[in-house]
Chain A
Amino acid sequence: EADIYQTPRYLVIGTGKKITLECSQTMGHDKMYWYQQDPGMELHLIHYSYGVNSTEKGDLSSESTVSRIRTEHFPLTLESARPSHTSQYLCASSEYFSGTEAFFGQGTRLTVV
């Protein structure tokens, strides 16, 4: 069982609201990631971090922002939610060096109405 947790699991929210999706891991991993997964299944990397105070944008343009103030915590924020943000968001973490696996949280399914 992976020690990486996402909250909430499900969120239904109105257009224009600000939301923060939480992700925490207790494995001491330096790298953390956010992926967006649409019903067609493909995962798109939207943000990642190499460690504290490091944040990078992924391949898929996203209006969300992230922060990494503590090693264990990597929250994702949407300042103004829109229906186009409706999706599944998956957080993951891994060791820094190549050749190790990624551990995933259970995901947050976001619906913006």
Chain B
Amino acid sequence: SQQGEEDPQALSIQEGENATMNCSYKTSINNLQWYRQNSGRGLVHLILIRSNEREKHSGRLRVTLDTSKKSSSLLITASRAADTASYFCATDVGGNQFYFGTGTSLTVIP
């Protein structure tokens, strides 16, 4: 892969629990974005964090970025069954050139 790798590959949790997904990448980036994909559909943008930011929040989402370790994490708090989807990180290496990771499949059990 050009860039990101997510881990774990799959995650199953109970409704109400927190879900944490990690993304590692290989080269310098301008920003990192997280996307969500429901089964058989296109991707939907969740949140963007710039290379000079360390943490960002949006609703129940919290993203961290550690450029020294070339890694990012996405935390979904108080998960709901509707959060069941695949989650991808995408690195922008410049000029809005997006490289996507392998994805984490999240299942939230009601």
Whether the Cβ atoms of A40 and B102 lie closer than 8 Å is: yes
Chain B interface mostly: strand
Which A2-36 residues have C-beta < 8 A from chain B? 2, 6, 31, 33, 35
CB-defined contacts of B44 to chain A, threshold 8 Å = 2, 104
Interface size on B, residues (CB 8 A): 29
Q: What string of 1s and 0s marks CB contacts (under 8 Å) between A53-64 and chain B?
A: 000000100000
A96 near B41 with CB under 8 A, answer no
Q: Which residues of B contact A (CB under 8 A)?
A: 1-2, 30-31, 33, 35, 40-45, 48, 50, 86, 88, 90, 92, 94-103, 105
A98-B94, A99-B92, A104-B44 known; 5 new pairs, CB 8 Å cut-off, are A99-B50, A100-B96, A103-B45, A104-B43, A106-B42
The 4 lowest CB-CB distance pairs between A and B, nearest first, are A104-B42, A101-B45, A43-B100, A41-B103
Some 26 contacts from A to B, beta carbons below 8 A apart, are: A2-B44, A6-B42, A33-B98, A35-B100, A41-B102, A42-B1, A42-B102, A42-B103, A43-B100, A45-B99, A45-B100, A90-B42, A92-B42, A94-B96, A98-B94, A98-B96, A99-B31, A101-B33, A101-B45, A101-B48, A104-B35, A104-B42, A105-B42, A106-B41, A106-B42, A109-B40
